[in-house]
């Protein structure tokens, strides 16, 4: 904790103290549930929090909230808050692409902060739920629609607020914007996971612990299938990346270019609200956009002097050569189209087809802007890379003639935001 900013230390300390005070207040006011029930829910929480699935783009998927909601309905506010926070603090699993985390290799302040965040979100949601004179373990709990809906909303507000405040301090970004983004994402997810919690509660109240536990079997199977799918997707991108390195091997100065272009393109695609499959196409096309340069001589590619017309016409064949190389891979059809058109220009002066405006797919425009920006800002054998500010002004000058105006507008916003926020300190939730 020593290397944390004093403001962060103060914030983490305050959240932990508020959680302890809330615990003391709740301990006076609510009854402790039966210890065997508390143990079952703590172990369930521990299990689901340990089986979190880490997503390729960061973040994680957990059904922890289903267990929190079930614990709230069955054990009451104190039991729910204790079982969920203790389960979370004792978890053993991957919460990011870093090595497996457990209580013994996680700094104490992070464990306590995570526990406090969970205690406060589940605890306050439960207090709201029971403030409607709802009975603990009521078999007709699902008729209490208003308390149920409110408790879900309170859970999301408290959970998102605590984590967003921390992230906004770490990234030096506006709390309100980040909160709204997280809230919009978390609320529908929590409603979906809550339906599982309601289902588990009905099973528990009617058939008991053993039958409820049986229902965790299909849940684990679904997790396994989803994890398998994500692993396959990861292998796919790693293979595509390996292929993209074959082009970069021809010129050491272009090392990392495709990967950076893919990262920029993904950010633009997400900001422009492209669908997930379009973003996957875009990332693959970005990694492989210059694969056709394999078929062009190194002397020509690395020539420091101006190219003759004849030489340039050879360079212009690289999108078509790329398409040809990938022609046998059936599922790369959309990727091939983006690669073929990544040197087309908005005003119609590009190559190889001389397409213009709406004739060119949006993904190709995004790739073109990301490609140009990285090429301008990276060093080459014959020149130094320019500043990001200078590259932005060139993109803006060429918007409407070379680049798509909306793509440039969106990309410039992303770069300016990144330039103003600076490097991120490390804090793993
Ligand atoms: Fe290219």
Give pLDDT tens digits for 147-180.
Answer: 999 999 999 999 999 988 988 888 777 888 888 8
Sign of CA dihedral 11, 14, 19, 20: positive
- Ligand 1 centre distance from Cα of residue 338 (Å): 11
- Ligand 1 centre distance from Cα of residue 413 (Å): 24
Quote the pLDDT of residue 135: 87
- Ligand 1 centre distance from Cα of residue 230 (Å): 29
1 assigned to some structural domain: no
Whole-angstrom Cα distance, residue 219 to residue 60?
16
231 assigned to some structural domain: no
Q: Which of 14-28, 40-54, 227-241, 280-294 shows the lowest per-residue confidence on average (mean pLDDT)?
A: 227-241
- Ligand 1 centre distance from Cα of residue 317 (Å): 10
- Ligand 1 centre distance from Cα of residue 309 (Å): 17
- Ligand 1 centre distance from Cα of residue 201 (Å): 57
Pair 121, 34 in one domain: yes
- Ligand 1 centre distance from Cα of residue 51 (Å): 42
- Ligand 1 centre distance from Cα of residue 104 (Å): 49
Pair 195, 257 in one domain: no
Which tokens hold the place of 31?
């009854």
- Ligand 1 centre distance from Cα of residue 420 (Å): 30
* CATH code at position 84: 1.10.1760.20
Which tokens hold the place of 209?
């612990």
118 assigned to some structural domain: yes
- Ligand 1 centre distance from Cα of residue 423 (Å): 30
Whole-angstrom Cα distance, residue 332 to residue 392?
31
- Ligand 1 centre distance from Cα of residue 319 (Å): 6
Quote the pLDDT of residue 255: 76
Pair 187, 285 in one domain: no
* pLDDT above 50 (res 425): no
140 assigned to some structural domain: yes
Pair 182, 294 in one domain: no
223 assigned to some structural domain: no
* pLDDT above 80 (res 140): yes
Q: Which of 33-47, 218-232, 266-280 shows the lowest per-residue confidence on average (mean pLDDT)?
A: 218-232
Pair 160, 82 in one domain: yes
- Ligand 1 centre distance from Cα of residue 308 (Å): 18
- Ligand 1 centre distance from Cα of residue 342 (Å): 7
238 assigned to some structural domain: no
* CATH code at position 291: 1.10.3210.10
Pair 83, 175 in one domain: yes
The residue assigned the tokens 């056709």 is 292
The domain in which residue 333 lies consists of 250-421
- Ligand 1 centre distance from Cα of residue 234 (Å): 25
Environment class of 208 (CB within 10 Å of its CB; exposed 0-12, middle 13-18, buried 19+): exposed
106 assigned to some structural domain: yes
Whole-angstrom Cα distance, residue 106 to residue 89?
10
Mean pLDDT of the chain: 86
Quote the pLDDT of residue 61: 67
Single residue among 163, 192, 214 that ends a domain in this structure:
214
| Portion of the chain with pLDDT greater than 90, in percent | 44
Beta bridge partners of 61: 53
Whole-angstrom Cα distance, residue 340 to residue 52?
40
pLDDT digit string, tens, across residues 106-133: 889 999 999 999 999 999 999 999 999 8
Pair 51, 182 in one domain: yes
Quote the pLDDT of residue 103: 84
Sign of CA dihedral 167, 173, 175, 179: negative
- Ligand 1 centre distance from Cα of residue 363 (Å): 14
Pair 83, 204 in one domain: yes
Pair 398, 330 in one domain: yes
CA 155 to chain centre: 21
Pair 174, 289 in one domain: no
The residue assigned the tokens 């959240």 is 15
Domain count, the chain: 2
Pair 308, 188 in one domain: no
């Amino acid at each position: 904790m020593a290397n944390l900013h004093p403001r962060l230390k103060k914030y983490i300390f305050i959240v932990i103290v508020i959680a302890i005070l809330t615990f003391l207040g709740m301990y006076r006011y609510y009854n402790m549930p039966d210890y065997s029930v508390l143990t079952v829910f703590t172990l369930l929480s521990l299990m689901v929090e340990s089986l979190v699935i880490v997503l390729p783009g960061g973040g994680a998927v957990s059904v922890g909230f289903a267990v929190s909601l079930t614990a709230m309905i069955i054990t009451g506010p104190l039991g729910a808050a204790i079982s969920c926070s203790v389960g979370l603090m004792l978890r053993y699993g991957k919460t990011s692409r870093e090595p497996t985390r457990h209580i013994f290799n996680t700094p104490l302040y992070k464990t306590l902060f995570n526990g406090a965040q969970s205690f406060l979100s589940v605890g306050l949601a439960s207090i709201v739920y029971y403030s409607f004179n709802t009975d603990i373990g009521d078999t007709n709990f699902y008729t209490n629609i208003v308390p149920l809906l409110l408790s879900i909303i309170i859970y999301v507000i408290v959970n998102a607020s605590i984590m967003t405040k921390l992230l906004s301090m770490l990234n030096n970004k506006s709390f309100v914007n980040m909160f709204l983004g997280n809230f919009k994402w978390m609320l529908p997810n929590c409603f979906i996971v809550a339906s599982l919690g309601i289902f588990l509660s009905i099973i528990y109240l009617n058939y008991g612990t053993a039958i409820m536990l049986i229902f965790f079997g299909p849940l684990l199977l679904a997790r396994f299938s989803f994890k398998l799918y994500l692993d396959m997707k990861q292998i796919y991108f790693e293979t595509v990346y390996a292929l993209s390195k074959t082009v970069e091997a021809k010129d050491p100065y272009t090392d990392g270019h495709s990967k950076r272009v893919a990262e920029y393109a993904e950010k633009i695609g997400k900001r422009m609200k492209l669908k997930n499959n379009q973003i996957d196409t875009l990332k693959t096309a970005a990694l492989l956009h210059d694969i056709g340069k394999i078929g062009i001589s190194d002397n020509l590619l690395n020539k420091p002097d101006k190219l003759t017309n004849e030489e340039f016409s050879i360079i212009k064949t690289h999108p078509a050569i790329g398409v040809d190389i990938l022609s046998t891979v059936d599922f790369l059809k959309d990727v091939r189209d983006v690669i073929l058109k990544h040197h087309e220009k908005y005003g119609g002066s590009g190559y190889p087809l001389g397409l213009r405006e709406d004739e060119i797919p949006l993904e190709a425009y995004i790739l073109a802007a990301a490609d140009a920006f990285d090429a301008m800002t990276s060093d080459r054998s014959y020149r130094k890379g320019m500043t990001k500010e200078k590259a932005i002004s060139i993109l803006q000058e060429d918007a409407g003639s070379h680049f798509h105006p909306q793509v440039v507008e969106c990309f410039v916003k992303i770069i300016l935001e990144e330039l103003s926020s600076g490097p991120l300190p490390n804090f793993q939730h």
